Amino acid sequence: MRIGLKLNLVFLTLALLIAIIGYIYFNTSQNPGNYLVIISLLAAILAFAVGFSISHSISKSIKKLKNSADKISKGFLEGQIDVKGRDEIAELAQALEYMRYSLKMVIEEYEKKLKQAEKIEKSEEKPIPEKQISKKSKSKIAI
C-alpha cells in the first residue's frame, strides 16, 4: 500500500475517533450543548486536512526521488537532485545526489583514462620512418 494512502487512512481513523468520542460524550452527558458536536466535527475535519497535506507532501518528495533514481539507473547523470528540508527524506535525497555526482566523476575519469590509453596505443602502432632507422639497427635486423 502506498505511504500517502496509509497516512490518509491513519488520519481519517483519527478524525473518526474524535467524532465518535464527541458523539458518545454528547449522548451520555446531561447537558453537553451543541458546541461539543461542532468542536468534534471541526477537529475531525482538521485532522483529515492535516493528514492529507502531510501525506501529499511526503508522497510528492518520494516520487521525485524515485524519478531521480530511475534516471540515474538509465545513465542520465547530468541533472542535480534538489535537496530541501532537513528530514529523513532530505537526507535520502542528499545521499542520492552524492551517489549521482560520484558516478559521474568515476565515469568521466574512466573516459579520460580510456582516451589516454587509446592515444598511447595509436602512437605505438605508427611505423618508424625509414630515416630514423640507423645503419647499425638495419644490420642487426638483417642478422
- Predicted local distance difference test score (pLDDT) of residue 115: 92
What is the average pLDDT across 110-132? 78
Sign of the Cα pseudo-torsion (81, 96, 72, 119, in order) = positive
User: pLDDT of 44-56, one tens digit each?
Assistant: 777 777 777 777 8
- Predicted local distance difference test score (pLDDT) of residue 138: 47
Distance of alpha carbon 61 from alpha carbon 21, whole angstroms: 34
Higher per-residue confidence, 127 vs 39: 39
Cα separation of the two ends of the chain = 82
User: pLDDT of 4-45, one tens digit each?
Assistant: 666 667 777 777 777 777 776 666 655 556 666 667 777 777
Largest CA distance in the chain: 123
